[in-house]
Amino acid sequence: MRPPPALALAALCLLALPAAAAAAYFGLTGREVLTPFPGLDTPEAPVQGGAHLKQCDLLKLSRRQKQLCRREPGLAESLRDAVHLGLLECQFQFRLERWNCSLEGRTGLLKRGFKETAFLYAVSSAALTHTLARACSAGRMERCTCDDSPGLESRQAWQWGVCGDNLKYSTKFLSNFLGPKRASKDLRARADAHNTHVGIKAVKSGLRTTCKCHGVSGSCAVRTCWKQLSPFRETGQALKLRYDSAVKVSSATNEALGRLELWAPARPGSPPKGLAPRPGDLVYMEDSPSFCRPSKYSPGTAGRVCSREASCSSLCCGRGHDTQSRLAAFSCHCQVQWCCYVECQQCLQEELVYTCKH
């Protein structure tokens, strides 16, 4: 099931940008009516010559980004794919939480400093990094191709027709695309930039070297290796763990550098003064609302399906749940037939569904 286009545009404004910049890049204030993102309904439509220029114009990008986009056939499509990837992963990782990553019409969260905001920034930049690296190796971009980092027999791998995911290109492009890191006076912007890099790092640490043996019956006379990104699900899982252990930060002025720094409370066992957050930690500034009732941050949990044993009490916020029965089909009376398949009948069984009360 594909999310409605409006969702995708909401997520696009998260593309790993410092908060203050995000509004400028995409012209979003979080209050506007979201218009559908053109082209989303025809994801498989081949891009004809010049079509990507049009796609770049439709994205709300800064002038410099628009130039980069126009110079880079395949980029606009990759941006769009990345939005889908990030959004679907967010919805999967939060499917059992009170906030289930439904952004439709509720972009208020993007302007705050919640843990959920931190996750959105990280998963968006991770999706973009991942999608670009894959787009290179899949031949969907004109300006990049397979990973060709030295020291990895990748030339040899190339000869064998194995194409490595080009993470080097994608991270380099991304940092250029997002612009130089300015020392920001704004704590929110610092935190967003930090969380953006947590996302990129998560993709990087999932890069694996995969090798394959060739030769008579696995003698491995010739071995080719290439770099391969782990499935995005694993990156999403890693980021969800970071969300669970996110660190609340405040700001402190670094006297020596004369600029604002993120400051985390001391961890147990370390000196009692504050510390800079570790590069892999997601950081947030504000405690989240409960997400129980509809607000500008979430639709609330009324109507959510829950599991009576596990999640109903917390998901329904103490309001209780309704129970409905429905008929579910399942395979039954299965028999092995000669030769060689299993034949089953369809049986119906009553099943109880629990949903949170209003």
By C-beta, is 125 or 355 nearer to ligand NAG?
355
By C-beta, is 91 or 156 nearer to ligand NAG?
91
Whether 298 and 112 have beta carbons less than 8 Å apart is answered as no
Minimum distance from CB of 99 to ligand NAG (Å)?
A: 9
By C-beta, is 263 or 291 nearer to ligand NAG?
291
Minimum distance from CB of 100 to ligand NAG (Å)?
A: 4
Interface residue with ligand NAG, options 21, 51, 68, 102 (CB under 6 A)? 102
Interface residue with ligand NAG, options 100, 117, 124, 235 (CB under 6 A)? 100
Whether 207 and 225 have beta carbons less than 8 Å apart is answered as no
By C-beta, is 100 or 228 nearer to ligand NAG?
100
Give the residue at shortest CB distance from ligand NAG: 100
Minimum distance from CB of 316 to ligand NAG (Å)?
A: 11
Minimum distance from CB of 313 to ligand NAG (Å)?
A: 17
Residue whose tokens read 């629990």: 354
By C-beta, is 166 or 301 nearer to ligand NAG?
301
The site string for ligand NAG over 282-321 (x = CB under 6 A, - otherwise) reads -----------------xxx-xx-----------------
What residues contact 112, with CB distance under 8 A and at least 6 apart?
Answer: 286, 297
Minimum distance from CB of 128 to ligand NAG (Å)?
A: 21
By C-beta, is 71 or 358 nearer to ligand NAG?
358
CA separation for the pair 257, 147 (Å, rounded): 37
Minimum distance from CB of 80 to ligand NAG (Å)?
A: 19
CA separation for the pair 43, 137 (Å, rounded): 19
Which amino acid is it at 205? Answer: S
Structure letter (DSSP) for residue 287: P
Whether 105 and 146 have beta carbons less than 8 Å apart is answered as no
By C-beta, is 235 or 301 nearer to ligand NAG?
301
CA separation for the pair 239, 343 (Å, rounded): 42
Q: 3-state DSSP helix/strand/coil percent for the chain, to nearest 5?
A: 40, 20, 45
Q: How many CB atoms lie within 10 A of CB 174?
A: 18
By C-beta, is 301 or 311 nearer to ligand NAG?
301
Bridge partner list, 347: 330
By C-beta, is 170 or 301 nearer to ligand NAG?
301
Minimum distance from CB of 347 to ligand NAG (Å)?
A: 29
- How many residues contact ligand NAG, by CB under 6 A? 8
Residues 65-94 that bind ligand NAG (CB under 6 A): 91
Minimum distance from CB of 83 to ligand NAG (Å)?
A: 15
Minimum distance from CB of 98 to ligand NAG (Å)?
A: 9
Binding site residues, ligand NAG, CB under 6 A:
91, 100, 102, 299-301, 303-304
